Amino acid sequence: MNTGKTVFSQVMEFLPLHEFRKCVERYQGNYKVQSFSCMDQFLCMAFAQLTYRESLRDIESCLRSMRTKLYHMGFRGSISRSTLADANENRDWRIYADFAQVLIHTARDLYLNDPFGIDLEQTVYALDATTIDLCLSLFPWARFRKNKGAIKLHTLLDLRGAIPSFIEITDGKFHEVNILDTLILEPGSFYVMDRGYLDFIRLYALHLAQAFFVTRNKSKIKYRRIYSRPVDKSTGLRCDQTIALTGVYSAKDYPEHLRLVKFYDSENKKLLVFLTNNFLIDALTVAQLYKSRWKVELFFRWIKQHLRIKAFYGTSQNAVKTQIWIAISIYVLVAIIKKRLGLKPELYTILQILSVTMFDKTDIFQPLTENMFLNDKIEDDNQLQLFRL
């Protein structure tokens, strides 16, 4: 049993500190900093995420109550809500964005061979965005509508392990489809999107990059049928066609043929029409790929429920982005710990256990596994099942 280190210290040991230092040096985060470094800031915000702290005062009170343990937990500077507020206000948020990308790269390697329900060798991404509402009087820089503030969290989710491979934070007015211009596309990969991303200029650019897309069609899109393939209607498929766009602008924007698949969802009694540029996979697989897009919706719901990204500790744009990126880092860090320790509980369960054992001096493996048999018996129908890995 580990009787020398707190659970919090053991969690933080999974961080690649040399990479963190590189990110800090890249943006001179510790320039003229004497007592409260970027690492102290990260540890404070990580502690807030893991223990669900409500405010800066809450963070300060909890950490000061355990001041005899702080040095051994990695803290070197004195903890003060004003100091932490100033750090969130002034330290470049890109430090934590870059570090989150380091963790994401590590997590994706760990989950590379995990199944996701569809027998495909290619990488499959789900692209979507969620809106985080903000009070306009407190966040005037985030104007969304006349009397409403908001930011958008654009996410490209790798469906193997539900790890976000790309995240972009924009103002609420930024249209989702524009994010396609910033993606670095991977040839041979699938990008699954809803019909809000149906822009034929951008989809054709994706096609020219030798990547594949699956998206919903819009009823107003004009096309003509080139060829029809037979389908098994007992599976829900209604047609599998090769089409050519006939609209004045759409035909010019996407001059090559597309594949159109119609699928009847008997559960919701709805006919769904999909477009893709892949002509090799089975028609039913096209429908299954689009259905798997729902994982990114569950991802958004999950992080909003279990991470601190709806109530913010600061009101500036830098403070908001810093908090979101550190929240994403903690989510990915827990996913890394889960895989490296071979843990069976879901991420939600791991976070709940960690939240009440941060100051315990015990081996991290013990609290996460000693009640594992109970997790197999207890089922919560209201709990999101995205992370039952």
Confidence label for 373 from pLDDT (cuts 50, 70 and 90): very low
Q: How many CB atoms lie within 10 A of CB 5?
A: 18
Q: Average pLDDT in the 328-357 region? A: 89
Q: Average pLDDT in the 313-338 region? A: 93
- Which tokens is 51 given? 């223990």
Distance, CA of 15 to CA of 260 (rounded, Å): 45
pLDDT in tens, 355-369: 888 888 888 888 887
Indicate the pTM of the whole model.
Answer: 0.86
How confident is the model at residue 268, as a pLDDT? 86
Confidence label for 371 from pLDDT (cuts 50, 70 and 90): low
pLDDT surpassing 80 at residue 55? yes
Distance, CA of 380 to CA of 389 (rounded, Å): 16
Distance, CA of 144 to CA of 105 (rounded, Å): 32
How confident is the model at residue 148, as a pLDDT? 87
Alpha-carbon dihedral of residues 78, 82, 88, 90, nearest 10 degrees?
-100
How confident is the model at residue 135, as a pLDDT? 87
Report the DSSP beta bridge partners of residue 73: none
Q: Average pLDDT in the 253-278 region? A: 94
Distance, CA of 376 to CA of 344 (rounded, Å): 9
User: Phi/psi of residue 384, each to 5°?
Assistant: -60, 135
Buried b (16+ CB within 10 A) or exposed e, 23-59: bbeebebbeebeebbbbbbbbbbbbbbbbebeebeeb
Per the CB < 8 A criterion, the answer to whether 302 and 387 are in contact is: yes
How confident is the model at residue 121, as a pLDDT? 85
Confidence label for 370 from pLDDT (cuts 50, 70 and 90): low
User: Phi/psi of residue 321, each to 5°?
Assistant: -65, -35
How confident is the model at residue 3, as a pLDDT? 55
Contacts of 184 (CB under 8 A, 6+ apart): 166
- Which tokens is 305 given? 């429920």
Contacts of 11 (CB under 8 A, 6+ apart): 50, 333, 337, 354, 364
Q: How distant, in Å, are the alpha carbons of 90, 227, 272 from that of 246?
A: 53, 15, 21
How confident is the model at residue 180, as a pLDDT? 94
Distance, CA of 219 to CA of 256 (rounded, Å): 20
Q: Average pLDDT in the 109-124 region? A: 86
How confident is the model at residue 112, as a pLDDT? 84
Three-state SS annotation for the chain = CCCCCCHHHHHHCCCCHHHHHHHHHHCCCCCCCCCCCHHHHHHHHHHHHHHCCCCHHHHHHHHHCCHHHHHHHCCCCCCCHHHHHHHHHHCCCHHHHHHHHHHHHHHHHHCCCCCCCCCCCCCEEEEEEEEEEECCCCCHHHEEECCEEEEEEEEEEECCCCEEEEEEEEECCCCHHHHHHCCCCCCCCEEECCHHHCCHHHHHHHHHCCCEEEEECCCCCCEEEEEEECCCHHHCEEEEEEEEECCHHHHHHCCCCEEEEEEEECCCCEEEEEEECCCCCCHHHHHHHHHHCHHHHHHHHHHHHHCCCCCCCCCCHHHHHHHHHHHHHHHHHHHHHHHHCCCCCCHHHHHHHHHCCCCCCCCCHHHHHCCHHHHHHCCCCCCCCCCCC
Distance, CA of 340 to CA of 16 (rounded, Å): 14
Confidence label for 202 from pLDDT (cuts 50, 70 and 90): very high
Distance, CA of 189 to CA of 81 (rounded, Å): 45
- Which tokens is 238 given? 């209604």
Q: Average pLDDT in the 74-84 region? A: 89
